[in-house]
């Protein structure tokens, strides 16, 4: 009998919780670390593949835009490429360049060039003699006439040749106007007598780029930006100029007195010979915003951040055409999909872990049932043996059998109680998170509805209606509470608008009024009544209720509890809100993990550790930040920075 009685105890010891065995915590920690590593790896793979796919799509679009821009630019130039020959075919022009001419011939050539310039739509047409001096020009009668200028330093004069058009982009030294120059040698029977030049204005083509979906630039052989859809980049450089390039530009007076400073572009990654990922710093110093719609000159694209830079060389000139494709949406989309993939892996891992835990629990139940059956069989065998051997002790055997039956009933009752307790624990664990987040709104609804009844009894329908109106957003917010974990993961928020901070604090204090009164907490307020921030009012109320509720928790049991609420406009367009208490303050460990999900120092069953994590996510969605610190005078302070709205309350 002693051996039989010991068997259930042995079975119970074998079925003891595995959490109590040495090494279990280390194994679980290892599994958690492995799961986190796998999640991060999968999210990283998803991010890289999605980003690469987006970049491939952007490259196809950029190639199409390069085709359009390059085609329009080359057509615009080629449209005038034959006119330098036309100028040299006129007999009066050849006669004017052949030698000294009378005033009548010089005037006929000037007027011929003036008429030709007006009809073909160029900026200016002029001819140079063999020394490089302008002897006739279409702007001969204008204040900034080219007639008489010495342009022998220009490359299109030094490199002029018969039956070949020399091309050059530069800024005029007389009128300080940029243009594209087409020049060829004027000859008579194979003897060069001068140079004819046609200057084209490309500003209209350049302005059309400003209405495109992203920036575009044209750089010359030295890397200087000659055409740009961003005005501040014009005549800048992609890289610092080397001494030889600086010398060539200075000798040709190509860009007159322009500084030619780098625009600050940084190459992040080189994809191939024609494509790179670059970082553009924007141009805050030029009065242009780094991003946003409808910038200067009708610009509708961003000019700061990460861009895909796709380049192509032009066929007729040593120029490089580059278009920039904004990578902001591609990066955001890749990050979102990576986060979703990570969450999917976590959910799948959690479901797998739950299934494994359930199977382990079932195995333990089967083992316990088998041990009980073995003990029962052993007891039956011994009872049978004693019955056959001790017929004289029948009464004693009956009593033993009865005791055995009572033991079996007690064991079955204990087993049933254990199963029931397990069910209750699972239900409580499932419901704790929801109850923790719904207690305050439910209490507020109860208070509001009760007050509404009393106001209706008094005949104060307006106040009762106001209370009932306050119930509706609370009920709507309760419906959203079950989705807060998912909302926290994807940084989504409601529609932002102008919110008066005074009203949000009033709402939070109203909801927590019973706790303030019950805890005998003194409340002091230093809140700017005209302070208006830009956020979702319902979510700001949720954050303030959570933070003030935490402060009241910290001061629970104190007779001298003090709650200080401060709100004022801060620097750089932000408002600063503070919730201070004189509770025990924060430990170093708490400050390190305060905003991590599921971290809490409260007693089991009183919280899931999600309140501060969710609040921090909400404030980040507003474009602000939530912080916590110890007070020098004792206690704790939570601080929020939220962007100010463009208007202030009257």
Q: What are the helix (H) ranges across 325-460?
A: 328-389, 394-458
Contact 327, 306 (CB under 8 A): yes
- Cα dihedral 140/144/149/151 (nearest 10): -110
Tokens 């209706």 sit on residue: 456
Could you give the CA distance from residue 465 to residue 399 in angstroms, rounded to a whole number? 74
Q: Please report which confidence band the pLDDT of residue 604 belongs to, taking 50, 70 and 90 as the band edges.
A: low
Domain count, the chain: 3
Are residue 504 and residue 603 in the same domain, yes or no? yes
Last residue of one domain, picked from the residues 168, 201, 234: 201
Is 191's pLDDT higher than 80?
A: yes
Are residue 197 and residue 211 in the same domain, yes or no? no
**Which structural domain, as residue segments, surrounds residue 240?**
204-326
Residue 61 covered by a domain? no
Are residue 625 and residue 496 in the same domain, yes or no? yes
Could you give the CA distance from residue 216 to residue 205 in angstroms, rounded to a whole number? 12
Contact 645, 576 (CB under 8 A): no
Are residue 237 and residue 187 in the same domain, yes or no? no
The model carries a pTM of 0.45
Q: Is the dihedral of CA 58, 64, 69, 73 positive or negative?
A: positive
DSSP β-bridge partners for residue 527 = 567
| Cα distances (Å, whole numbers) of residue 625 to 285, 289, 409, 642 | 27, 24, 61, 7
Could you give the CA distance from residue 447 to residue 514 in angstroms, rounded to a whole number? 9
Question: Which SS3 state, helix, strand or coil, does residue 585 take?
Answer: coil
Residue 142 covered by a domain? yes
Are residue 149 and residue 289 in the same domain, yes or no? no
Are residue 552 and residue 489 in the same domain, yes or no? yes
Q: Which residue has the higher pLDDT, 208 or 619?
A: 619
DSSP β-bridge partners for residue 195 = 128, 185
Per-residue pLDDT tens digits for 159-183: 888 888 888 888 877 777 888 889 9
Are residue 210 and residue 250 in the same domain, yes or no? yes
Report the pLDDT averaged over residues 535-554.
87
Could you give the CA distance from residue 557 to residue 560 in angstroms, rounded to a whole number? 9
Contact 266, 278 (CB under 8 A): yes
Are residue 193 and residue 275 in the same domain, yes or no? no
Residue 228 covered by a domain? yes
Domain at 546, CATH number: 3.30.565.10
Per-residue pLDDT tens digits for 208-255: 776 666 788 888 888 888 788 788 888 888 888 888 888 888 887 878
Are residue 208 and residue 197 in the same domain, yes or no? no
> In the chain, what is the greatest distance between 2 CA atoms, to the nearest angstrom?
161
Residue 74 covered by a domain? no
Residue 197 covered by a domain? yes
Is 127's pLDDT higher than 60?
A: yes
Cα angle: 552, vertex 554, 557; to 5 degrees: 85
Could you give the CA distance from residue 228 to residue 143 in angstroms, rounded to a whole number? 29
Are residue 639 and residue 514 in the same domain, yes or no? yes
Tokens 């003897």 sit on residue: 191
Are residue 163 and residue 231 in the same domain, yes or no? no
Could you give the CA distance from residue 203 to residue 495 in angstroms, rounded to a whole number? 42
Could you give the CA distance from residue 568 to residue 170 in angstroms, rounded to a whole number? 55
Domain at 113, CATH number: 3.30.450.20
Nearest-10 crossing angle of helices 501-511, 394-458: 140
Residue 388 covered by a domain? no
Structure tokens at 421: 């307790």
- Report the pLDDT value the prediction gives residue 316, as an integer from 0 to 100: 73
Contact 90, 112 (CB under 8 A): yes
Last residue of one domain, picked from the residues 293, 326, 359: 326
Are residue 166 and residue 220 in the same domain, yes or no? no
């Amino acid at each position: 009998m002693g051996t039989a009685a010991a068997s259930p105890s042995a079975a119970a010891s074998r079925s003891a919780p595995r959490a109590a065995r040495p090494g279990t915590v280390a194994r679980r920690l290892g599994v958690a670390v492995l799961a986190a590593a796998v999640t991060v790896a999968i999210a990283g793979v998803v991010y890289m593949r999605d980003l690469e796919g987006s970049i491939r799509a952007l490259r196809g679009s950029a190639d199409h835009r390069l085709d359009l821009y390059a085609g329009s630019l080359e057509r615009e130039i080629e449209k005038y490429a034959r006119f330098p020959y036309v100028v040299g075919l006129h007999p009066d022009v050849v006669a004017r360049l052949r030698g000294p001419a009378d005033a009548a011939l010089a005037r006929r050539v000037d007027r011929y060039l003036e008429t030709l310039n007006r009809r073909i739509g160029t900026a200016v047409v002029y001819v140079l003699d063999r020394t490089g001096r302008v002897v006739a020009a279409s702007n001969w009668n204008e204040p900034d006439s080219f007639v008489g200028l010495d342009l022998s330093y220009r490359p299109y004069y030094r490199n002029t040749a018969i039956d070949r058009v020399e091309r050059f982009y530069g800024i005029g030294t007389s009128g300080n106007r940029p243009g594209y120059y087409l020049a060829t040698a004027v000859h008579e029977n194979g003897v060069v007598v001068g140079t004819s030049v046609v200057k084209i204005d490309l500003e209209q083509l350049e302005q059309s780029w400003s209405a495109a979906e992203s920036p575009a630039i044209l750089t010359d052989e030295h890397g200087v930006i000659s055409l740009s859809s961003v005005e501040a980049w014009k005549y800048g450089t992609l890289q610092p100029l080397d001494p030889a390039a600086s010398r060539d530009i200075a000798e040709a007076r190509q860009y007159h007195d322009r500084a030619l400073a780098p625009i600050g572009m940084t190459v992040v990654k080189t994809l191939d010979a024609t494509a790179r990922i670059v970082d553009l710093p924007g141009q805050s110093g030029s009065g242009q915003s780094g991003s946003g719609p409808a910038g200067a000159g009708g610009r509708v694209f961003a000019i700061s951040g990460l861009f895909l830079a796709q380049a192509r060389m032009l066929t007729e000139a040593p120029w490089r055409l580059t278009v920039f494709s904004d990578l902001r949406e591609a990066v955001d989309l890749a990050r979102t999909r990576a986060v979703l993939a990570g969450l999917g892996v976590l959910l799948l891992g959690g479901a797998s872990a739950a299934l494994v835990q359930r199977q382990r629990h079932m195995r333990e139940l089967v083992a316990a049932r088998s041990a009980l059956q073995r003990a029962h069989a052993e007891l039956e065998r011994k009872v049978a043996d004693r019955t056959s051997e001790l017929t004289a002790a029948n009464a004693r055997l009956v009593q033993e059998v009865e005791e055995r039956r009572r033991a079996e009933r007690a064991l079955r009752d204990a087993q049933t109680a254990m199963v029931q307790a397990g069910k209750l624990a699972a239900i409580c664990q499932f419901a704790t998170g929801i109850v923790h987040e719904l207690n305050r709104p439910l209490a507020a609804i109860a208070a509001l509805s009760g007050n509404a009844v009393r106001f209706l009894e008094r005949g104060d329908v307006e106040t009762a209606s106001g209370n009932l109106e306050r119930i509706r957003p609370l009920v709507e917010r309760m419906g959203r509470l079950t989705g807060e974990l998912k909302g926290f993961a994807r940084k989504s928020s409601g529609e932002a608008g102008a919110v008066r901070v005074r009203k949000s604090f009033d709402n939070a204090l109203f909801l927590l009024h019973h706790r303030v009164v019950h805890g005998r907490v003194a409340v002091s307020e230093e809140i700017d009544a005209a302070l208006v921030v830009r956020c979702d009012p319902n979510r700001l109320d949720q954050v303030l209720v959570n933070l003030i509720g935490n402060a009241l928790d910290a001061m629970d049991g104190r007779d001298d509890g003090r709650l200080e609420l401060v709100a004022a406009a801060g620097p750089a367009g932000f408002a600063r809100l503070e919730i201070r208490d004189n509770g025990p303050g924060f430990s170093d460990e708490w400050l390190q993990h305060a905003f991590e999900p599921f971290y809490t120092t409260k007693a089991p069953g009183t919280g899931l550790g999600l309140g501060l994590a969710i609040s921090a996510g909400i404030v980040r969605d507003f474009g602000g930040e939530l912080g916590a610190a110890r007070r020098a005078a004792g206690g704790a302070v939570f601080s929020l920075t939220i962007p100010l709205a463009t208007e202030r309350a009257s």
